[in-house]
A and B are shown apart, each in its own frame.
Chain A
Amino acid sequence: MPRFEPRVVQLSLPSEFGYEKVAMLSAGAIAENMGFSPARVQDLQTAVSEACLNAIEHAHRLRAGVKLVVTLRAGVEELQVNVVDRGGGSIPRGRRPHILEKVEGHEDSRGWGMFLIESLVDQVRVTTRRGGGKTLRLVLRLDGPRRSVYEQDSV
């Protein structure tokens, strides 16, 4: 029986608000093709959008000429989305934000992205490269109920 080759799509996107939707819609189309339920497709789309926004805004600081690379890898059992940036800094763990603190002005009203990402996909891995840049990998699995796993490393 021939071995299944994952289908791979790669996007190179300007670091400008709005282009996260290109990745989001592509991920949605692939997830739909793979048979994910509409609810899980939307979960993935929100997570991919936030991962791209993180690169666009925080890593690349809205420099449109600096590209983020999004690789979508459709396997038999899972869809992997890698968002690669070339920026500095780290991606902090997405602890649950305190909305009361934000509403009362004690905390910045921003800071929801990583919390949403970690809440909506099965696995999140942040890899920091020593030479600069990071890869944020999101995984959505086809089997069974969802579970959330977070990993962090550097290479």
Chain B
Amino acid sequence: MNQHRLRVRHSGAIAIIDLEGDLSHDSEGPLLGALRDPHVLPSSVVVLNFAGVGYINSAGISLLVSLVAEVIHTERTLLACCLSPHYRKIFQMVGLTEYIQVFETELDALRGTEPGKAR
């Protein structure tokens, strides 16, 4: 219904993926594709910006688990920002916060990746 869209930006060496719409069954191809994009692959840190996401269901959670597996496999770090309090709670409930550090704002996420502050 509210199809998933995304956009990739860079801040220095950090790749930022702006997510928009629903994170659901049809998000897998675009999101995994973005993570494997030749412009994103060299970035050791990837920030998922959820500011434009209003709905995440269990398929979206599963997709994020796949993303975590992918970044571990490629020795990268996945961060998240701008999640609503509800989805932040869901991330904690399912254990995603053990693998994805969640920040309030994009700026916080970028600062969190400064040397000496990275997890």
Question: Do these two chains really belong together in a complex?
Answer: yes
A interface vs B, CB < 8 Å?
A: 17-18, 20-21, 39, 42-43, 46, 49-50, 53, 97, 99-100, 102-105, 109-113, 115-116, 119
- Chain A residues contacting B74 (CB-CB under 8 Å) are none
- Chain A residues contacting B65 (CB-CB under 8 Å) are 99, 102-103, 109
Q: What CA separation (Å) do A39 and B90 show in the bound complex?
A: 12
Q: What CA separation (Å) do A116 and B56 show in the bound complex?
A: 12
Say whether chain B's binding surface is mostly helix, strand, loop, or mixed: helix
Tell whether A50 pairs with B58 under 8 Å between CB atoms, given A102-B65, A109-B66, A112-B94. yes
CB proximity of A52 to chain B, nearest CB, Å: 10
Task: Tell me if B58 and A116 are in contact (CB < 8 A).
Answer: yes
CB under 8 Å from chain A, chain B span 2-38: 2, 24-26
CB proximity of B95 to chain A, nearest CB, Å: 4
B interface vs A, CB < 8 Å?
A: 1-2, 24-26, 55, 57-59, 61-63, 65-66, 68-69, 72, 84-86, 90, 93-96, 98-99
Task: Tell me if A39 and B86 are in contact (CB < 8 A).
Answer: yes
Task: Tell me if A46 and B96 are in contact (CB < 8 A).
Answer: no
Task: Tell me if B61 and A112 are in contact (CB < 8 A).
Answer: yes
Task: Tell me if A110 and B58 are in contact (CB < 8 A).
Answer: yes
Q: What CA separation (Å) do A114 and B25 show in the bound complex?
A: 17
Task: Tell me if A43 and B86 are in contact (CB < 8 A).
Answer: yes
Task: Tell me if A49 and B57 are in contact (CB < 8 A).
Answer: yes
- Chain A residues contacting B62 (CB-CB under 8 Å) are 102, 109-112
